């Protein structure tokens, strides 16, 4: 009898998309922030960013192991932070300003029209 070399995946079939934040700790260096499995969804990450849970975020990545993809979503996150602050008529929190300026500034520029 011929043996199969195939082994079943240990990854659950319906794995959610995970969002991780890279943070800058100054002289201590940069690192991916540790997170509980329950706190890696996009809403929790956005809420934590706005609440100041990250000191100086430098990048946000998303991945889904069951779908076999990963992506830098920093621009999307920065634009969403800016959108939420705009809806609340509030300034972007100071700890996020550099992150938003780096990733969302190009998309959020407003141009003045010359009145004729």
- pLDDT tens readout for residues 94-112: 999 999 999 986 554 454 4
Q: Write phi, then psi, for 93 (nearest 5 degrees).
A: -55, 145
Residue 66 lies in a domain: yes
45, 33 in Cβ contact below 8 A? no
Mean pLDDT for all residues in the chain: 85
Residue 8 lies in a domain: no
Per-residue pLDDT band at 89 (split at 50, 70, 90): very high
Residue 113 lies in a domain: no
Burial class (CB in 10 A: 0-12, 13-18, 19+), 56: middle
Residue 6 lies in a domain: no
């Amino acid at each position: 009898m011929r043996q199969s070399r195939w082994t079943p995946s240990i990854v659950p079939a319906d794995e959610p998309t995970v969002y991780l934040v890279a943070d800058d700790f100054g002289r201590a260096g940069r690192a991916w922030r540790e997170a509980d499995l329950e706190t890696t969804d996009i809403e929790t990450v956005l809420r934590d960013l706005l609440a100041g849970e990250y000191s100086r975020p430098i990048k946000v990545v998303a991945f889904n192991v069951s779908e076999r993809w990963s992506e830098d979503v920093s621009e999307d996150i920065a634009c969403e932070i800016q959108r939420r602050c705009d809806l609340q008529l509030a300034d972007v929190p100071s700890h996020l300003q550099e992150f938003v300026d780096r990733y969302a500034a190009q998309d959020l520029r407003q141009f003045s029209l010359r009145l004729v």
